[in-house]
Structure 1
Amino acid sequence: MNKTLKDAILNGFYDDNYPGHELLGPQLLANNSDNKIWSTLRDELLKCKSFTWAVAFITQDMLVPFKVVMADLAKKNVTGTIITGDYLGFNNPRVFDELKKISNLKIKIASEAGFHAKGYLFEHEDYQTVIIGSANFTRSALISNYEWSLKISSNKEAALTKQFSDQIKGLEENSFDLTDEWLKNYRKNWVKPVNNHSEKNIISEKIKPNQMQQDALKNLQGLLAEKQTKGLIVSATGTGKTYLGAFAVKAYKPKRFLYVVHRRQIAEKSLQSFYQVIGGKQSDYGILSGNKHDVNKKYLFATVQTLSQDKILEQLPADYFDYILIDEAHRAAAPSYQKILCHFKPKFLLGMTATPERMDEQDVYKIFDYNLAYEIRLRDALEEKILTPFHYVGIQDYEENGEIIDDTTDLRYLTADKRVQYILKELNYYGYSGDRPRGLIFCSRQDEARELAEKLTATSHPAVALTNEDSEDKRGKTVTELEAGKIEYIVTVDLFNEGVDIPSLNQIVMLRNTQSSIVFIQQLGRGLRKYPNKQFVTVLDFIGNYKNNYLIPIALNNDTSRDKDRVRREIQIPDFVGLSTINFSQIASERILHSLDQVKLDSMRELRISYKELKQKLGRVPLLLDFYNYGSTSPLVFAKNHALAHYGDFLQKMGESVELTKKQSQILSFVTKELLSGKRVHELLLLKMLLNSDNRKISFDEYIEQLNKHHAYVDKDVLNSVDDILTLSFFDVKSGKTTKKEQYGGSSLINHDLLTYEFSPVMRNCLKNTAFKKLLMDVLETGLLLNQDYQNDQQFTIYKQYDRKDVCRLLNWPLDVSAPMYGYRVGENVTPIFITYKKDSEEKRNAVYDNQLSDGRSLRWYTRAPRHLSSDEVQRLLKPDMKLQLFVKRSDAVGKEFFYLGEGKVLQDTVKEEKIGPKKKSAVGMNLLLKRPLAPSMYKILFDN
């Protein structure tokens, strides 16, 4: 470790020719899209033996993710100290209350006047890490602000480390332990710092269209310009859906406008919002609900129950309103709404909803002619800071004597006193933002909800159970009691998935299995509407032994890949959504991973469901491009599915009429399986250019010009490789009884001479089939979009995944020699090396090759056996000009693809012949140094235990 640490320091401070080390080398930390300062702090916490932080300012909105880490560290007996203070009265007294809840944390108050430090010290086994700079322990500083912090690791005997340690030691000596008495006095004398943003300013900002609303309004104008008469906008709860509707109506300037909703309270509130935006005479606005019938008003806000009455509809001609807006448009399939929609014939009908996906399979999109004008989804709204950020915490549910909550757990256990106490303990530990808890608890059954509410109330946490058996009046009254602080919790089953508006909610608690990603996001979004003094929402998910746990990371990350390996990474390295954080305790992570191992995400059943949902949304047969733009499944899933030859094959299995010849099907299979992934732009671009050409012919110069526009590297080898791929000669290698070339039809797709490229006669004939042509273009356009994730100016993109066949192609080799390649293949000037870091079984032949990331920067690697230092293969491998390309995967369980880690360099003094394996055969071992230091996130994915 000492040599590694020394090299890393010299690399950072003296000469980058010394080997670097991403984990130990000096780093300038900032908040960017790839990494946040909090991510580095979190990683250091999880690896350290102890820590001491000196931070002047701490905010409560950063303590929830910190508590998740500290709870896991407590199980490993890792403790820490935070030195903070009262400078400028920045720290809210609540911060100290919350810090005191962390059992393995000591809190000290600095006596130094003007204490304004921002330093983080971590003690490791044989070195220390210091992070020091501009970042306080606040959510803004650690996640979003433009901050700089310098991270330095050094030997404990280093002068700089000693200086910092001495400063910390002196600071501790001049600090005192946080006491109840000090906190009582601080709270008594504390004056909240002045906030420059008054409530008046916040309100005025809300009624100006934000960027997403502006985009939606532009799209609505586009529909009107196209003479469309209907449109649908999907807008997440709390994103200003009502104001957006008002802006749209203001722009249209209708003679008479009708707003339809299911509750009078919403109609009255919406009237006020529209008046704020549109203005004019107050007398132009009216209500149609109950006994109030203002049918002669210019802007009429009606409840569906009153409007749908025959005696009301008889008073209003079909063309009475030229603009109608249906709020909560997912309800529009109901008979009462249909009665209204059949009666009126407006010039434009607008639907607005937060939840278009219906569990009852009603086709909401069809009602609005599939004119989806705009979508403001939850994740987008959080990124744009339209909603209150959340801190999601996945923690283990109550467990006793090895018994874990699951789908069949008896009610007595669900509402046992010990489980209730456990839930309350976790609710108290993770806390809430605001003056008192206002929580919504989702559980699995109605009797559980009632009993849980009674037990919470009995423990001085007043709660009310609400189910679908309760009246609308009781629901409204209960919500009012929660907002007034008379009760702390509403306990329900699935009643509040949509339609409820409780802006003051500051806790969402999930005590049930996740049945669907849609419902999960609906429930998560209940508390995200902005509210005064609410800085965040605490979302506590008690994760039991549920078979659907795998849906949690998929829903939180809006993951459409259906790729288990990617879902695993999302659990290992939790993501950020704007200022929101996603956090899993260690045991909760293990339960989710266990659930993931039991499911097949890309099964035909799952694909069928996804296809039906998208077809309903679009009102037509979706293509791969539609899955890329709108779907719940990545287009790549269809390419990777071994049961499908291509997407046309899938459509046929779905009962769609797709007529293809055998040859056409084989060609579609080739472009789908080999090119759709977008890992190289060259073939996709050439085929699309030919397809768009009138005579199916383009010049060599035109092709080169387009490659340059796509910033793609061009040389003789890659152009020859494109020919090899599109003539299928690359695939002229035995694969079972036939060659892959024969499986793809055996015919070249192109002809190429010195001056031109053109489609082959076989392709020209196939293109006479419009279905084939459409499906081919679909693959090419989708592949070009997927290619945006890759760097076209080089053969491989760092940290992207490739299988052995991809590597053969991208190295411009004339044949696919991936089958016999195994761990490596020595080429003329480049050698790809494939390393599986963890072997699944010690009995496997390759388990004797003990690949080790010995110091975080170099891998011990072995040639095949038997091999000797004098072997021709080894001599060629060790040539000074041989380029080594390193590809690594964690284990065989993650599939065939390897992460590209960049070039490697043989450390010559580590090369030696060794006897390996049970038969003690000779092999040559060597350390391969990564030329590019490994990113912390990749280190965690590949090498962390």
Structure 2
Amino acid sequence: MYKLYDYQQKLVVETRQALSNGNKGVLIVSPPGSGKSAVIAEIARLTTLKKNRVLFFVHRQELVKQIKDSFIKQNVDLNYCTIMTVGKVAHRLSILPKPNLIIVDESQHSRAKTYQKIFNYYSDIPRLGFTGSPWRLSGKGFKDIYSTMIQGPKTKWLIDHHKLAPFTVYGYQLGDKNALKHSSTGDYTKQSMDNFTHSIIHGDIVKSWLKFTKDRKTIVYCHSVNFSKEVAKAFRDAGINAVHADSQTSTPKRERIMNDFKQGKIKVLCNVDLISEGFDVPDCSCVVLLRPTESLVIYLQQSMRAMRYQPDKHAVIIDQVGNFEKFGLPDADYHWSLEDRAKHPHREGSTTDGPAIKTCPECFAVIEAENITCPLCGHDFSAEIRRIQQKKDQELSAIKAQEFHIDLIARKKVSELTSFKELTMYAKAKHYKNGWAWHMAKRKGFI
């Protein structure tokens, strides 16, 4: 049995208090890598101590095994626990023992039909949802599922207190972003991501890995099986032991690959949305993002996979598809809410006053925009900052001059206007309909 950190114990206490206050649904939010499994196991232990039953479910079998291991370590009485994937629970509702408490991990999926079926069947049973990011592409909130939300520490706090590893993001862009097209879900279509990856030279992926993070244990995130296999081959062709795995890989082979990766026999593990949730390899210190996404959940789960804490560890995130440009850095101060939000805005969930970022042209590190010198390579931004300010001043001056000129034109009579350009500015100032300036210019013989 392990002792919880103070912030984890605080989550346990606050969660139990929320239930005792009469809330039937409580959503617990804590960043990826902060140890939600330990909190879940402790709540399950306290529940089963009183001979009350716990129903735990999650959407993937690998996560079921992980939580079982956590329960065993925490001396949870498994005789009072049902631990399954959400699909299995949904098909066994009539034969499962009725729980006293429902616990759901990765509960950003709670709006799915199978989850709703279970919640409706056990409508009188209190439920706890755990997630690192309560966010959906649709913008739909969770207030009809969870009546209150409890938030754990921020990512910056966890880094400062040695519970997550510090990190560096390298924004080394590959591929033609113009190829990406949105689907009805709000994320990119598979076909457009295929087209996007066709514009990536596989050798450049390996070159950037060698440049930024040679010899680190690395997870590479791809969007398709074929692309993931091609990337793994490019690494092997360069003499680097790389393997591909996906959800269709046979269970024995997948377990063998995961164990070999954990033991260091495999240096680079390429995958397709397989190692985004619950996969824990603390000595993995690098991730390579090759899957463009509009989903903040996917971005945080994948980018933070290398940030599991170990003493003296510094994680490296190589974002080669520009996801950081939409969502900021993983330690941005995201504002979570149970309420609905606007659908698909950029930087969703982040505070409007979060730090702006920029990419160093020398070392490609993504740093805060306020830095005058790059903290990694020492590149001096003074000249660029002066040029940007000069450009802003020129643009502002041009805008003011144009506004003055338009104001001057607006005071004239139509008969005093002497060109098509003046007629256009006059129409703009007077809010006339499109086409007025053209017809008037034709009548005056300007065109």
> Which category of TM-score, normalised to the shorter sequence, fits these structures?
0.5 to 0.7
Match of 2:64?
Answer: 267
Find the aligned partners of 1:524 and 1:565 in 2 and give their Cα distance.
18
CA 1:216–1:495 in structure 2 vs 1: closer, same or farther (change >3 Å)? same
Secondary structure (helix, strand or coil) at the match of 2:134 reads: coil
Match of 1:840?
Answer: 393
CA contact (8 A) 1:391 1:536 kept: yes
Match of 1:367 among 145, 151, 170: 145
Match of 1:541?
Answer: 319
Query: Which letter maps to 1:271?
Result: K
Match of 1:385?
Answer: 162
Find the aligned partners of 1:265 and 1:842 in 2 and give their Cα distance.
55
Match of 1:277 among 74, 90, 93: 74
CA contact (8 A) 2:223 2:290 kept: yes
**1:401-550 superposed matches below 5 A:** 406-408=177-179, 411=197, 413-417=199-203, 419-427=204-212, 430-431=213-214, 437-443=216-222, 446-467=225-246, 470=249, 475-511=254-290, 513=292, 515-530=294-309, 535-542=313-320, 550=325
Structure 1 residues 128-155: Cα deviation after superposition (integer angstroms, max 9, x where no partner): xxxxxxxxxxxxxxxxxxxxxxxxxxxx
CA contact (8 A) 1:332 1:338 kept: yes
Q: Are 1:221 and 2:16 counterparts?
A: yes
Match of 2:170 among 385, 390, 394: 394
CA 1:275–1:477 in structure 2 vs 1: closer, same or farther (change >3 Å)? closer
Find the aligned partners of 1:495 and 1:350 in 2 and give their Cα distance.
25
CA 1:407–1:842 in structure 2 vs 1: closer, same or farther (change >3 Å)? closer
CA contact (8 A) 1:395 1:585 kept: no
Find the aligned partners of 2:216 and 2:255 in 1 and give their Cα distance.
19
Secondary structure (helix, strand or coil) at the match of 1:315 reads: coil
Find the aligned partners of 1:524 and 1:383 in 2 and give their Cα distance.
18
**1:877-892 superposed matches below 5 A:** none
CA contact (8 A) 1:438 1:485 kept: yes
Match of 1:571 among 360, 364, 368: 368
Secondary structure (helix, strand or coil) at the match of 1:386 reads: coil
Query: Which letter maps to 2:300?
Result: I
Find the aligned partners of 2:305 and 2:250 in 1 and give their Cα distance.
20
Match of 1:314 among 94, 98, 101: 94
Match of 1:247?
Answer: 42
Find the aligned partners of 2:327 and 2:382 in 1 and give their Cα distance.
10
CA 1:392–1:367 in structure 2 vs 1: closer, same or farther (change >3 Å)? same
Find the aligned partners of 1:326 and 1:276 in 2 and give their Cα distance.
19
Q: 1:220 offset after TM fit, Å?
A: 1.7
CA contact (8 A) 1:365 1:372 kept: no
Query: Which letter maps to 1:841?
Result: Q
Find the aligned partners of 1:250 and 1:537 in 2 and give their Cα distance.
33
CA 1:841–1:376 in structure 2 vs 1: closer, same or farther (change >3 Å)? closer
Secondary structure (helix, strand or coil) at the match of 1:314 reads: coil
Secondary structure (helix, strand or coil) at the match of 2:393 reads: coil
CA 1:300–1:420 in structure 2 vs 1: closer, same or farther (change >3 Å)? closer
Instruction: Point out where structure 2 has 5 or more consecutive residues left out of the alignment.
Output: 180-194, 335-349, 360-366, 399-447
Query: Which letter maps to 2:51?
Result: K
Q: 1:536 offset after TM fit, Å?
A: 2.8
Find the aligned partners of 1:843 and 1:307 in 2 and give their Cα distance.
62
CA contact (8 A) 1:327 1:352 kept: yes
Structure 1 residues 86-107: Cα deviation after superposition (integer angstroms, max 9, x where no partner): xxxxxxxxxxxxxxxxxxxxxx
Query: Which letter maps to 2:88?
Result: T
CA contact (8 A) 1:440 1:489 kept: yes
**1:653-672 superposed matches below 5 A:** none
Q: Are 1:354 and 2:139 counterparts?
A: no
Find the aligned partners of 1:585 and 1:514 in 2 and give their Cα distance.
31
Higher RCO by CA contacts (8 Å cutoff, separation 6 or greater): 2
Secondary structure (helix, strand or coil) at the match of 1:414 reads: coil
CA 1:839–1:457 in structure 2 vs 1: closer, same or farther (change >3 Å)? closer
Query: Which letter maps to 2:40?
Result: G
CA contact (8 A) 1:498 1:522 kept: yes
Q: 1:840 offset after TM fit, Å?
A: 2.7
Q: 1:499 offset after TM fit, Å?
A: 4.1
CA 1:407–1:235 in structure 2 vs 1: closer, same or farther (change >3 Å)? same
Find the aligned partners of 1:235 and 1:250 in 2 and give their Cα distance.
20
Q: Are 1:231 and 2:9 counterparts?
A: no
CA contact (8 A) 1:233 1:373 kept: yes
CA contact (8 A) 1:236 1:378 kept: yes
Find the aligned partners of 1:839 and 1:333 in 2 and give their Cα distance.
45
Structure 1 residues 708-753: Cα deviation after superposition (integer angstroms, max 9, x where no partner): xxxxxxxxxxxxxxxxxxxxxxxxxxxxxxxxxxxxxxxxxxxxxx
Structure 1 residues 684-713: Cα deviation after superposition (integer angstroms, max 9, x where no partner): xxxxxxxxxxxxxxxxxxxxxxxxxxxxxx
Q: Which has the higher strand share?
A: 1
Instruction: Work out the percentage of aligned pairs sharing the same amino acid.
Output: 21
Match of 2:83 among 301, 304, 325: 301
Secondary structure (helix, strand or coil) at the match of 1:351 reads: strand
Instruction: Point out where structure 1 has 5 or more consecutive residues left out of the alignment.
Output: 1-203, 286-296, 399-403, 576-580, 592-596, 598-835, 846-945
Query: Which letter maps to 1:437?
Result: R
Match of 2:412?
Answer: none
Query: When the two structures are aligned, how many residues end up with a matched partner?
Result: 358
Find the aligned partners of 2:68 and 2:103 in 1 and give their Cα distance.
12
CA contact (8 A) 2:107 2:131 kept: yes
Q: 1:341 offset after TM fit, Å?
A: 2.7
CA contact (8 A) 1:504 1:534 kept: no
Match of 1:209?
Answer: 4
Secondary structure (helix, strand or coil) at the match of 2:216 reads: coil
Q: 1:456 offset after TM fit, Å?
A: 0.8
Query: So what's the TM-score if we normalise by structure 2?
Result: 0.65
CA contact (8 A) 1:414 1:448 kept: no
Q: Are 1:340 and 2:121 counterparts?
A: no
Q: 1:386 offset after TM fit, Å?
A: 1.7
Q: 1:242 offset after TM fit, Å?
A: 1.7
Query: Which letter maps to 2:298?
Result: V
Q: 1:463 offset after TM fit, Å?
A: 1.8
Find the aligned partners of 2:253 and 2:137 in 1 and give their Cα distance.
25
CA contact (8 A) 2:219 2:286 kept: yes
Q: 1:566 offset after TM fit, Å?
A: 4.8
CA contact (8 A) 2:102 2:127 kept: yes
Q: 1:392 offset after TM fit, Å?
A: 1.2
CA contact (8 A) 2:37 2:70 kept: yes
CA 1:561–1:574 in structure 2 vs 1: closer, same or farther (change >3 Å)? farther
Q: 1:508 offset after TM fit, Å?
A: 0.9
Q: 1:361 offset after TM fit, Å?
A: 4.8
CA contact (8 A) 1:507 1:537 kept: yes
CA 1:539–1:550 in structure 2 vs 1: closer, same or farther (change >3 Å)? closer
Find the aligned partners of 1:483 and 1:425 in 2 and give their Cα distance.
21
Q: Are 1:257 and 2:53 counterparts?
A: yes
Query: So what's the TM-score if we normalise by structure 1?
Result: 0.33
CA contact (8 A) 2:108 2:131 kept: yes
Query: Which letter maps to 2:81?
Result: Y
Q: 1:454 offset after TM fit, Å?
A: 0.9
Find the aligned partners of 1:242 and 1:473 in 2 and give their Cα distance.
25
Query: Which letter maps to 2:159?
Result: L
Find the aligned partners of 1:584 and 1:556 in 2 and give their Cα distance.
21
**Considering only aligned residues, what root-mean-square deviation do their CA atoms show, in Å?**
4.4
CA 1:497–1:359 in structure 2 vs 1: closer, same or farther (change >3 Å)? farther
CA contact (8 A) 1:497 1:526 kept: yes
